[in-house]
Amino acid sequence: MKKNNIQIAVFAGGCFWCTEAVFQRLAGVHRIISGYTGGTIKNPAYREITTGRTGHAEAIKIEYDAEIIKFTELLEVFFVTHNPTTLNKQGADQGTQYRSAIFYVDENQRQIAVTMIKKLSEEAVFDNPIVTEVTELGPFYNAEDYHQNYYNQNSNQGYCQFVINPKLDKLQTTFKNKLKKQIQD
């Protein structure tokens, strides 16, 4: 899925509001779409996803310039800004829709993801085993409009203040050199 240098990565790291806010701030990321993937029904709606019965994960589709940021760097940010060791859970959010997953678009992405998980496991970076699934990307369904660009439009909301802001603080501290210029300042 290449358009010049533009490539696609799809991650699920709990609530898509959180992952969207994190990856929007990275240099080389052009567009983020919040949506649903990995499930069994066509065209799911949020009300169906929240039941956990469709098998879909809340995920983000990242369109990025591989000349500016590599897939490996996106994975590094992914693993630092969510908990890859809790099965079907991120913070207070519980259910398969909040699972940790990398939905690869080609064999190269799959290999890079598997290798990184193996390396992080061997180095015991986390206290518990990594449970992030690595699955081939199937149909990706865009979430409803009110989920798109959620943090940027609702940053004063309680969930954003207490759940997303700490992730953005961690991103700022750990990956300052990977942030878009206006965010670094």
Q: Give the whole-angstrom CA distance, residue 40 versus residue 54.
A: 6
Q: In which residue are the tokens 């990995």 written?
A: 38
Share of the chain above pLDDT 70, in %: 96
Q: Which long-range contacts (CB under 8 A, 24 or more apart) does 38-47 make?
A: 38/12, 38/101, 38/103, 38/135, 38/138, 42/139, 42/141, 43/141, 44/141, 45/144, 46/143, 46/144, 46/147
What is the reported pLDDT for 2? 47
Catalogue the active-site residues.
Answer: 15
pLDDT (tens digit per residue) in 44-100: 999 999 999 999 999 999 999 999 999 999 999 999 999 999 999 998 889 999 999
pLDDT > 80? residue 184: no
Domains of the chain in start order, with CATH, are: 6-184 (3.30.1060.10)
Does residue 42 carry a pLDDT above 50?
yes
Q: Give the per-residue pLDDT at 1.
A: 45
Q: What is the pLDDT of residues 104-128, one digit of tens each?
A: 999 999 999 999 999 999 999 999 9
How many residues would you count in the chain? 185
Mean pLDDT for the stretch of residues 148-177: 94
pTM of the shown model:
0.94
Tokens of 137: 């990307």
- Using alpha carbons only, give the angle 36, 170, 22 rounded to the nearest 5 degrees: 30
Paired sense of beta strands 57-65 and 6-13, if any: antiparallel
pLDDT value of position 21 = 97
Please state, rounded to an integer, the average pLDDT across all residues of the chain: 94
First-to-last alpha carbon distance for the chain, in angstroms, is: 33
